[in-house]
Amino acid sequence: SQQGEEDPQALSIQEGENATMNCSYKTSINNLQWYRQNSGRGLVHLILIRSNEREKHSGRLRVTLDTSKKSSSLLITASRAADTASYFCATGLASGGGADGLTFGKGTHLIIQP
Amino acid sequence: DGGITQSPKYLFRKEGQNVTLSCEQNLNHDAMYWYRQDPGQGLRLIYYSQIVNDFQKGDIAEGYSVSREKKESFPLTVTSAQKNPTAFYLCASSPPQGGRTEAFFGQGTRLTVV
């Protein structure tokens, strides 16, 4: 079953602006990850944040996690045309030892206008 | 180069036919996964395997079958029992306890029923 729900479903911004997308989930997690998917391609891992972390940075990416609200946000700063893609959050559940892998949301489609 | 390879990239199936999608990885990962992605949707788990000769059903296993005879290979068969097989299929691999770590994805196979 899909645990994560991204918001918004689609986002269009001008190049150079910041893009923020959100993810909400339902059950206790071990970690939350963000992936990018270019049209018709596989997913590429961007960043992983564990349940005991609140914020993490990687280059132009900033991820926050609020376990009390069961939500996460992904901020992409100084957006570029190459950032145009779909972005998915994925959760690893706290129970089960992680054997069944990750549960993905439906994604946010981000368009960067030149 | 280390990675995960799916073939073919495009596959066409006639009604009533079984087809097999290939997934090979040279990352020495124990865990492998098959996901289905429909337009505008997230990923749904079909099957996963944590070890050779063992695999488990995911959320939408009906109409699909898998085998795991070798660590590096995890082929997916879409059987005639799958009533709506047209979709984008993604294979992934990870170290053990995949819900705790980053997943690596292949480039996908787009299956179309003709």
B87: nearest CA in chain A?
Answer: A40
Q: What is the pLDDT of residue B16?
A: 87
Predicted confidence (pLDDT) at residue B79 exceeds the cutoff of 90? yes
Best mutation target among B100, B107, B109, B112 (most A Cβ atoms within 10 Å) is B100
Residue A29 tokens, joined: 């997690």
* In contact, A27 and A2? CB cutoff 8 Å: no
Which member of B42, B50, B88 has the closest CB to residue A104?
Answer: B42
pLDDT given for residue A10 in this prediction = 95
The CA dihedral of B57, B59, B63, B67, to the nearest 10 degrees, is -30
**Percent of chain A that is helix, strand, coil (3-state, to 5):** 5, 55, 40
Q: Give the whole-angstrom CA distance, residue B109 versus residue B85.
A: 12
Asked if the C-beta of A62 comes within 8 angstroms of chain B's C-beta atoms, the answer is: no
Tell me the nearest-neighbour CA distance from A104 into chain B, angstroms. 6
Q: What is the pLDDT of residues A41-90, one digit of tens each?
A: 999 999 999 999 999 999 999 999 999 999 999 999 999 999 999 999 99
Whether the per-residue pLDDT at B71 is higher than 70: the answer is yes
